[in-house]
């Protein structure tokens, strides 16, 4: 066995700098977590209490009374994300390979993402009310799909254009149909882009507030809308809000970790090309 290299002071300096940078960038999360496990009378105590007995009272309130709202947000975000991939991928493939609609269609699709949701909130409310899906998760999913689909199509289209068309031509020569070539060749090669689009669409749906506030009342209320109950006229429940913030980060963090390998490649392929 070779001799172990000594730990140089320079390496120690790099480690300390790295720890400091990580601590600075994560300080809002660390402080939020601290507030979530503090007792209410310690949150505004001066000087700030750094040593205290932690409590999970705020988390207990959330799991007892707000778990259903968490599931509502998860179902709405997951459903809209899945549909944005199912609809967005073949649409992006058609635009990338067959130039469907020309550049005008591509720009029109992207321009839909520039419109603020409040601009078409009234027509959406009338539409959802007409089909009887107010205060229903199945009413939120198509609304979130409308918000996510333009970006999904544009992102996937750019990625598909980077995939050599010769791969599909070889599959066609071997007897595959155009649909089979898309599903067997292009779709597997597009996994990094699909992962990136999935994360972006899920985060956008999970954090959406305005449409959920207008289209839901009680049963289908989502996580961000439900948390507004902690902000009263004369009192703000900071402990519960902080705990809700920590819990609300978990789905997106877990999704990003699970898809991290594909996510990094999907985000950087265009730059590397």
171-225 confidence digits (pLDDT tens): 898 888 889 999 999 999 898 889 889 998 999 999 999 999 999 988 899 999 9
Assign 3-state DSSP to the chain and report helix, strand, coil percentages, each to 5.
75, 0, 25
Q: What radius of gyration do the chain's Cα atoms show? A: 24
What does the DSSP 8-state code read for residue 119?
Answer: G
CA angle 31, 33, 35 (to 5 degrees): 70
216-267 confidence digits (pLDDT tens): 988 899 999 988 888 887 888 888 999 999 999 999 888 888 887 766 665 5
Sorted by sequence, the CB contacts under 8 Å of residue 116 that are 6+ apart come out as: none
Distance separating alpha carbons of residues 271 and 273, to the nearest angstrom? 5
Determine the average pLDDT of the residues in 120-144.
93
In 3D, which of 19, 25, 95, 69 has the Cα closest to residue 248?
69
In 3D, which of 86, 125, 89 has the Cα closest to residue 213?
125
Is the pLDDT higher at 235 or at 71?
A: 71
Q: State residue 182's pLDDT score.
A: 92
Identify the burial level of 154 via C-beta atoms within 10 angstroms of its C-beta, where 0-12 means exposed, 13-18 middle and 19 or more buried. Answer: buried
> Percent of the chain beyond pLDDT 70?
90
Distance separating alpha carbons of residues 267 and 67, to the nearest angstrom? 33
Assess whether pLDDT exceeds 70 at residue 43. yes
Distance separating alpha carbons of residues 193 and 264, to the nearest angstrom? 9
CATH architecture of 65-272: Orthogonal Bundle (1.10)
Q: Which residues face 28 on adjacent strands?
A: none
Tokens 């750094």 locate to 50
Q: State residue 246's pLDDT score.
A: 92
Yes or no: say if 78 and 202 are a contact pair by the CB < 8 Å rule. yes
Q: State residue 114's pLDDT score.
A: 83
Assess whether pLDDT exceeds 50 at residue 153. yes
Domain boundary assignment for the chain: 65-272
Assess whether pLDDT exceeds 80 at residue 24. yes
Q: State residue 49's pLDDT score.
A: 66
Q: State residue 14's pLDDT score.
A: 84
72-115 confidence digits (pLDDT tens): 999 999 999 999 999 999 999 999 998 887 778 888 888 888 88
Distance separating alpha carbons of residues 203 and 214, to the nearest angstrom? 20
Distance separating alpha carbons of residues 194 and 266, to the nearest angstrom? 8
Q: State residue 11's pLDDT score.
A: 78
Tokens 């959920």 locate to 212
Identify the burial level of 2 via C-beta atoms within 10 angstroms of its C-beta, where 0-12 means exposed, 13-18 middle and 19 or more buried. Answer: exposed
Distance separating alpha carbons of residues 76 and 144, to the nearest angstrom? 8
Sorted by sequence, the CB contacts under 8 Å of residue 10 that are 6+ apart come out as: none
């Amino acid at each position: 066995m070779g001799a172990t290299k000594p730990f140089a002071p320079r390496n120690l300096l790099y480690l300390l700098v790295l720890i400091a940078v990580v601590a600075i960038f994560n300080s809002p999360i660390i402080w939020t977590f601290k507030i979530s496990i503090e007792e209410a009378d310690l949150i505004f105590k001066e000087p700030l209490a750094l040593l205290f007995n932690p409590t999970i009272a705020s988390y207990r309130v959330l799991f007892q009374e707000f778990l259903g709202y968490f599931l509502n947000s998860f179902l709405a975000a997951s459903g809209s994300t899945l549909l944005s991939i199912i609809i967005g991928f073949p649409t992006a493939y058609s635009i990338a390979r067959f130039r469907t609609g020309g550049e005008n269609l591509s720009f029109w699709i992207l321009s839909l993402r520039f419109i603020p949701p409040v601009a078409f909130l009234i027509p959406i409310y009338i539409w959802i009310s007409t089909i009887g899906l107010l205060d229903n998760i199945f009413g939120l999913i198509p609304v979130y799909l409308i918000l996510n689909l333009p970006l999904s199509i544009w992102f996937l289209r750019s990625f598909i254009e980077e995939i050599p068309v010769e791969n599909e031509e070889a599959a066609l020569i071997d007897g595959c149909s155009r649909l089979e070539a898309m599903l067997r060749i292009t779709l597997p090669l597009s996994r990094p882009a699909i992962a990136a689009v999935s994360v972006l669409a899920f985060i956008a749906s999970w954090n959406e507030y305005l449409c959920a506030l207008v289209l839901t009342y009680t049963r289908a209320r989502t996580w961000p809308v439900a948390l507004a109950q902690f902000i009263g006229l004369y009192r703000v429940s900071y402990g519960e809000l902080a705990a809700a913030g920590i819990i609300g980060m978990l789905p997106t963090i877990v999704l990003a970790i699970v898809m991290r390998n594909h996510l990094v490649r999907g985000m950087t392929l265009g730059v590397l090309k």
